[in-house]
Each structure stands twice: as structure tokens, then as C-alpha cells.
Amino acid sequence: MTAEKWSDDPKTDAGPIISSRVRLARNLRKYRFAPRLSPEAARAMIRDVAGAVRDAALPGGARLRMIDPRDLTESVRAALLEGHAVSPEFLSGGAYSPKALLLSDDESVGIMINEEDHIRMQAVTPGDDVDGAYAIADGVDDVIERGVEYAFEPDFGYLTACPTNAGTGMRASFMAHLPGLALTGQAANVLQSAAKFGITARGIYGEGTKPVGHIFQISNQVTTGKSEGAIIALLRNVTAEVTGREKAARKALFSGTNLADRIWRSYGILAYARRLGAEEAMEHLSDIRLGFEEGILNIARPKRPIYNLMINAQPGRVRARASGETTDAETDVSRAECLRSML
């Protein structure tokens, strides 16, 4: 674990929005879609994409490392997944093989090659900055397009293996910490009404997962029929509404002293526990993130952003730091140790 990931940026702690992300799906015209691509052709396709970015100047001076997922240890795979650098589908192997990953050192720019589409590139920015993320993703897209020909039809836009991604091929999202809505029981309602606008919300680790740590991914569901700019504007509006309700919910919560007590206890437990499960750790980290943001915890902040602690509390990261195989109980001990040392 080096200390220079995008998740180390204190902007991730500045408000309910932890980070912004833009993901673009692209395919190369001269190859079949991934489901029907032979291993030989996949290798050639990977070379084409890698060649397009190899010597190019990327936005923000990003340098991409080429990674073969088959070379990764189990704990590094889990750590990449927990850090949202890759999708579970990318690591699950199986159908589309071989694959490759181009990843910047701070993990803010990543290109998965031969996932469901030939190219899934993403750019992440810390805090509330979806425009910044789009600018980076768009820049990377331009670079690649200089070296390869995309599958693109004027009537449809970009073609994708699954039609639900066609058109812009774009998924823009915010990672939002919404303890106020969650603790007042309003989260489901508020997020369901977002669905009316084609905006969906799900737990931090993908569809169908529980929103651990009260963290939600809010993203556009629909990729066609609107320009990239219009989709981002809609996402931004809906998210502003959601975070406005989050703030109102917090105000209501703080009218008692119970929440302050809960937050301080969470701090005490994180600072002293000798064993912490991942889920419990996330609960407490959610509490203290809220506490620092709302000024309840009027003490020095940890050196790293809380979101970074959350990532580092995930099982894969904890195991990656421990040497050798560890049992669940040992992982809980390491997690507690790590969080204590970071607080």
C-alpha cells in the first residue's frame, strides 16, 4: 500500500460526495465483440489498445502500467477490486480471455481491456468533481481513438456488447456517503425517486450489494438518447437534491445528543478495539466520517481521509498487508491494528 492513491486526497472527506467517476465503454471496429473474440484476436486487440496509449501524453500526465490479471495474487486482486480499480467481471476471468489492465499509479485512470467490451476506461476524481472526471476520461478516449478505429454508428453512437451501454457508452457516478438518510430510514425512498430520472443508486460494492458504511454509488442508468453533457447535468442535479436531503436529515439527527454519543463511541472503538470485522469497521468509519464533517469530532483528523481508511479496512487490503495466508480472525486483528495506527 503506497500512500499516493486518489483515495488519499483529503478532498474525499470534504462533504457527502467522496468521489466522482466516469466510465466509457468502447469497442474496436476491426474485432468481434468480446463474447465472440478468439484468444488470438484478443491478444492482437490488447496490443492495439496498449500501442495507442504507450507513448501518448495522457491527461494530467498520467502514466499507465500494463497488468496481466493472471499474474496477480489473490490479495492484490481483492485490493484492486475494493479500490474500484477493476470490476468483479474483469477479475472473474472465464469467457473473455486474455485480458489486460492499464492502470495509473494513483489508480485514478484505468483501462480494462477485453472485459464485456474491448475497452472499459474510467477516470476517478476525489470529491464532487464529475466534470473533472469526464475531462480526463474524454482525453484518454481521444488518445486511444488516435490509434484505433472505434465501432461507432452515427444513428446509435458507440456500439457495445450489451445494448444498454450503447450510445454514449458512458456511466458517470458519484460515490456518496449518506448516513443521515440511512440512519433516518429515508435512503430507500429518496434513491427510488432518483430512479424516475434514470439515475440509480446502489451499494458501494456493486449492484445488489448492501450499502456498507452508508456509502452509495449514484449513476446514470440510461446511456442513449442524450449527450454526455446532458447526462452529467442530470446526474449532478439529482445528486444535489439527494445531498440536500442528506443535510436536512443530519440536522434532524443532531437535534438529540444520541448521535454525538454514537459517533464518539465509534471513535473510541476504532481507537482501541483489538478485533474488528469489515462490516463493523465500516459502520464506525461511517460514523466518524459524519462526525468530522459535522464538527462533532472536534479533534485532529486522521492523517488519511476516512474513505481511504474504509478502503484499507476491506478484507483484500488487510490481507495484502499481512504476510502469508491469514484466517478471518487474524484478519480482524490486523484490521483493528491498522485502523488504530491510522487514527
Does position 301 bind a second copy by CB under 8 A? Answer: no
Q: Based on CB atoms, which residue is closest to a second copy, 123 or 336?
A: 336
Q: Can you tell me which of 206, 251, 257, 279 binds a second copy, judged by CB under 8 A?
A: 257
Does position 267 bind a second copy by CB under 8 A? Answer: yes
How buried is residue 229: exposed, middle or buried, by Cβ count under 10 Å (0-12/13-18/19+)?
A: exposed
User: Going residue by residue from 137 to 156, which x/- string records binding to a second copy, judged by CB under 8 A?
Assistant: --------------------
The stretch among 64-72, 81-89, 141-149, 264-272 that binds a second copy (CB under 8 A) is 264-272
Would you list the DSSP string of 262-330? HHHHHHHHHHH-S---HHHHHHHHHHHHHHHHTT-S-SPPPSS-HHHHHHHTSHHHHHHHSSS---HHH
Q: Can you tell me which of 4, 74, 261, 279 binds a second copy, judged by CB under 8 A?
A: 261
Q: Based on CB atoms, which residue is closest to a second copy, 86 or 269?
A: 269
3-state secondary structure of 121: strand
Q: Based on CB atoms, which residue is closest to a second copy, 262 or 304?
A: 262
Shortest approach of a second copy to residue 150 CB, angstroms? 54
Does position 272 bind a second copy by CB under 8 A? Answer: yes
Q: Can you tell me which of 37, 81, 212, 269 binds a second copy, judged by CB under 8 A?
A: 269
Interface positions, 231-250, toward a second copy (CB under 8 A): none
At 338, which helix (H) or strand (E)? helix 328-342
Give dist(CA 182, CA 123) in Å, integer: 28
Question: Would the CA dihedral through 68, 69, 75, 78 be positive or negative?
Answer: positive
Does position 183 bind a second copy by CB under 8 A? Answer: no
Give dist(CA 73, CA 67) in Å, integer: 12
Shortest approach of a second copy to residue 267 CB, angstroms? 5
Interface positions, 323-342, toward a second copy (CB under 8 A): 329, 333, 336
Tell me, by CB under 8 A, how many residues bind a second copy.
18
Q: Based on CB atoms, which residue is closest to a second copy, 156 or 272?
A: 272
Q: Can you tell me which of 11, 275, 293, 337 binds a second copy, judged by CB under 8 A?
A: 275
Does position 51 bind a second copy by CB under 8 A? Answer: no
Q: What are phi and psi of 243, to 5 degrees?
A: -70, -30
DSSP-derived pairing of the beta strands 17-26 and 119-126: antiparallel
Does position 258 bind a second copy by CB under 8 A? Answer: yes
Shortest approach of a second copy to residue 181 CB, angstroms? 23
Nearest to 124 by CA among 308, 290, 335, 282: 308
Neighbours of 190 (CB within 10 A): 19
Does position 268 bind a second copy by CB under 8 A? Answer: yes
Does position 273 bind a second copy by CB under 8 A? Answer: yes
Does position 271 bind a second copy by CB under 8 A? Answer: yes
Does position 260 bind a second copy by CB under 8 A? Answer: yes
Nearest to 148 by CA among 51, 82, 57: 51
Cell numbers for 122: 474510467
At 65, which helix (H) or strand (E)? strand 64-67
Neighbours of 60 (CB within 10 A): 16
At 43, which helix (H) or strand (E)? helix 39-54
Q: Based on CB atoms, which residue is closest to a second copy, 128 or 294?
A: 294
Using CB under 8 A as the criterion, which residues of the chain lie in contact with a second copy when the complex forms?
257-258, 260-261, 264-265, 267-275, 329, 333, 336
